Chains A and B, each alone.
Chain A
């Protein structure tokens, strides 16, 4: 069977990463931003997994790495949401662009 070439996986990951980055940098809604970050992290996971199969020297560690990444991403998201709630309690908004009491 002809395998999908690695370039495809990499391209996909890259595109996913860029979408995530774009979202993280432009969306006003903080939840969306957090999700975009997840997107970026998942792009990494695709990379890792792809490399672990089709990389220069395929090895299982890539997938281990991916697992760790997923765990960490989850933790990060959790913390992010917790902080967002705390903020919402005080500020009554989840809009990114309103979080600028400190500047210059």
Chain B
């Protein structure tokens, strides 16, 4: 099985090529192609995962490009993390493929949509089985392309266009960091191979400073992809894409790639305390920062987007606190419940044709299936006990505490409170109370959309139990098995943390219920008390405006300056030279005045000059 794991990404690639070429003819039928091929890779990845549970890591490579005596290789590797990611990605992708059959129904670019999904899935699967940094970067960019295409799927919408462009460029800024980092690393290690890099890092053949530098640069790449502060602004805008896309790319898989990258390079990061600290701080800050914005957003998808950002921050915090398992664990659970939430949100939007939660409400009765599923997701993300999110988040908090990042720990706790609050605010505003706008013929989505949600719903509940302090930490033990540099499978932490986490989340839920469910607490008590805070939060701390003002205008100004240079200096010099030549010609032809005697005189003067020069320099007056 594992020997042929390389085939897994090829199924979606096949679907992409096939649909791009023949999609027009197939129309709606193209959905089946996509679904079947992703199913194939899902099945195959499951088989690979099961085999990997027992068998050792498998790695195969071939030469891709020769530079002088250096050989760059390409291939694939199946270790615990890769196997796990394969399953997560192909599973979510498969579900989203299915879901889209209903959601995108009737769109005239239906086949194109599936083709893009295929492309993205291919890239994402390729990313997670890459055995070296170069190949990772290769697919890293390709997933970016997939995300770009899908965000801009409604290309005729100016917002979509802007969002797509923004997403691509912002992530690219991060990617450059990654590129620099890996090239520097290459000249240190002499290879892009993960294991060789780790070996070198352990052997201490790389200076500490260099390790820190490269690690941080690579982390910059992760910041870009995983929408961490300060490169997070593209992720909420990315919600312009179709909702299934948001579920697949901007919740479950691609945005998690940053976390995956840090996890994959974990030994490198652990080799530098500074790097780890940076990761942790950025993570924690992003977590609280995004959560605070999420408190006040009105667009259902944006709320979810900010929650994604903050959850990713959690994962970073975990990794930054040496909580390898915690990070990966949360990555998995988050993939499930966040995908669920998005799909459910999509189902809601599908039903009411708006994304503004102010116009929703009272959908609980109307959407019999979507409602409960959304609730499950909400509970999971809020970290309510017995749901998957509870366990993973708990792991993170423990890791943070155990690693001694007390401040970060408390930040995370507050973030947890916020999360619980805004998620339930969202839930209540959408489903509880009465409709705040007249919504005709609202009906539950077709089963092709609900089924995937059900599957995810189940997973959102049970996924947590693969790694619990009570029934054993199978996942953790398996993940770190045979690789001491990844830390322990399970970090023991004081029991009160779990209690605190629970209380906090319940508090959040309770407050949300007071304000939006029971309405005993007026909604705008925050708005009225601190309008400034509210505006600040609602406008996402004016970060976009800030970038517009500094970076974008800066670039524009600089370009304008260069253009000035181009037109006046460079062109000017050229024209000047030409002018001189022609004016000299003019001068010359002035002498050519038609007077015979002038010509004779010229000759005589010439002769005189020659003779004088000769007399002065040459023969005689020496």
Contacts of B592 in A (CB 8 A): 103-104
Besides the known contacts A102-B594, A104-B592, 6 further A-B residue pairs in the complex with CB atoms under 8 A apart? A25-B604, A26-B597, A96-B597, A97-B597, A100-B593, A104-B590
User: Which B584-620 residues have a C-beta within 8 angstroms of A?
Assistant: 589-590, 592-597, 600-601, 604
Contacts of A24 in B (CB 8 A): 597, 600
Contacts of A21 in B (CB 8 A): 604
Please give the distance in Å from A98's CB to the nearest CB on chain B: 10
User: Which B555-598 residues have a C-beta within 8 angstroms of A?
Assistant: 589-590, 592-597
A100 B600 Cβ-Cβ under 8 A: no
User: Which A57-104 residues have a C-beta within 8 angstroms of B?
Assistant: 96-97, 99-104
Please give the distance in Å from B75's CB to the nearest CB on chain A: 77
B594 A99 Cβ-Cβ under 8 A: yes
Number of residues from B at the complex interface, CB < 8 A: 11
B596 A99 Cβ-Cβ under 8 A: yes
Overall SS of chain B's interface: helix
Determine the residue in chain B with the shortest Cβ distance to A104. Answer: B589
Q: List 11 A-B contacts (CB under 8 A).
A: A24-B600, A26-B597, A96-B595, A97-B595, A99-B596, A100-B594, A100-B595, A101-B594, A103-B592, A104-B592, A104-B593
A96 B590 Cβ-Cβ under 8 A: no
- Contacts A25-B601, A25-B604, A104-B589 given; does A96 touch B594 at CB 8 Å: no
A102–B601 Cα distance when bound, in Å, is: 18
Please give the distance in Å from B593's CB to the nearest CB on chain A: 5
Please give the distance in Å from A103's CB to the nearest CB on chain B: 3
A101–B595 Cα distance when bound, in Å, is: 9
B600 is contacted by which of A25, A99, A102, A104 (Cβ under 8 Å)? A25
Determine the residue in chain A with the shortest Cβ distance to B589. Answer: A104
A103–B604 Cα distance when bound, in Å, is: 20
A100–B596 Cα distance when bound, in Å, is: 8
A97–B590 Cα distance when bound, in Å, is: 16
Contacts of A104 in B (CB 8 A): 589-590, 592-594
A33–B599 Cα distance when bound, in Å, is: 14
Determine the residue in chain A with the shortest Cβ distance to B597. Answer: A25
Please give the distance in Å from B607's CB to the nearest CB on chain A: 10
Please give the distance in Å from A101's CB to the nearest CB on chain B: 7
Determine the residue in chain B with the shortest Cβ distance to A97. Answer: B595
Contacts of B590 in A (CB 8 A): 104
Determine the residue in chain A with the shortest Cβ distance to B596. Answer: A96
Please give the distance in Å from A79's CB to the nearest CB on chain B: 15
A65–B596 Cα distance when bound, in Å, is: 29
Determine the residue in chain A with the shortest Cβ distance to B599. Answer: A25
A103 B594 Cβ-Cβ under 8 A: yes
Determine the residue in chain B with the shortest Cβ distance to A100. Answer: B594
Please give the distance in Å from B359's CB to the nearest CB on chain A: 83
Determine the residue in chain B with the shortest Cβ distance to A30. Answer: B596
Contacts of A99 in B (CB 8 A): 594, 596
Please give the distance in Å from B498's CB to the nearest CB on chain A: 101
A60–B601 Cα distance when bound, in Å, is: 35
Of residues A26, A33, A96, A103, which shows the largest number of chain B Cβ atoms within 10 Å of its Cβ? A103
Please give the distance in Å from A80's CB to the nearest CB on chain B: 12
A26–B601 Cα distance when bound, in Å, is: 9
Please give the distance in Å from B239's CB to the nearest CB on chain A: 74
A103–B601 Cα distance when bound, in Å, is: 16
A8–B40 Cα distance when bound, in Å, is: 119
Determine the residue in chain B with the shortest Cβ distance to A27. Answer: B597
Contacts of B595 in A (CB 8 A): 96-97, 100
A45–B555 Cα distance when bound, in Å, is: 82
Determine the residue in chain B with the shortest Cβ distance to A103. Answer: B594
Determine the residue in chain B with the shortest Cβ distance to A22. Answer: B604
A25–B597 Cα distance when bound, in Å, is: 5
Determine the residue in chain A with the shortest Cβ distance to B601. Answer: A25
| Interface pairs A-B: 10 shortest CB-CB | A100-B594, A103-B594, A104-B589, A25-B597, A25-B600, A25-B601, A104-B592, A103-B593, A100-B595, A96-B596
A102–B589 Cα distance when bound, in Å, is: 12
Q: Please, what's the 1-or-0 string for A6-43, where 1 marks a CB less than 8 Å from any CB in chain B?
A: 00000000000000010011100000010000000000
Contacts of A103 in B (CB 8 A): 592-594
Contacts of A25 in B (CB 8 A): 597, 600-601, 604
Determine the residue in chain B with the shortest Cβ distance to A37. Answer: B600
Please give the distance in Å from A26's CB to the nearest CB on chain B: 7
Determine the residue in chain B with the shortest Cβ distance to A99. Answer: B596
Please give the distance in Å from B128's CB to the nearest CB on chain A: 80
A25–B603 Cα distance when bound, in Å, is: 11
Determine the residue in chain B with the shortest Cβ distance to A102. Answer: B594
Please give the distance in Å from A65's CB to the nearest CB on chain B: 22
Please give the distance in Å from A97's CB to the nearest CB on chain B: 6
A97–B595 Cα distance when bound, in Å, is: 6
Please give the distance in Å from A100's CB to the nearest CB on chain B: 3
User: Which B185-212 residues have a C-beta within 8 angstroms of A?
Assistant: none
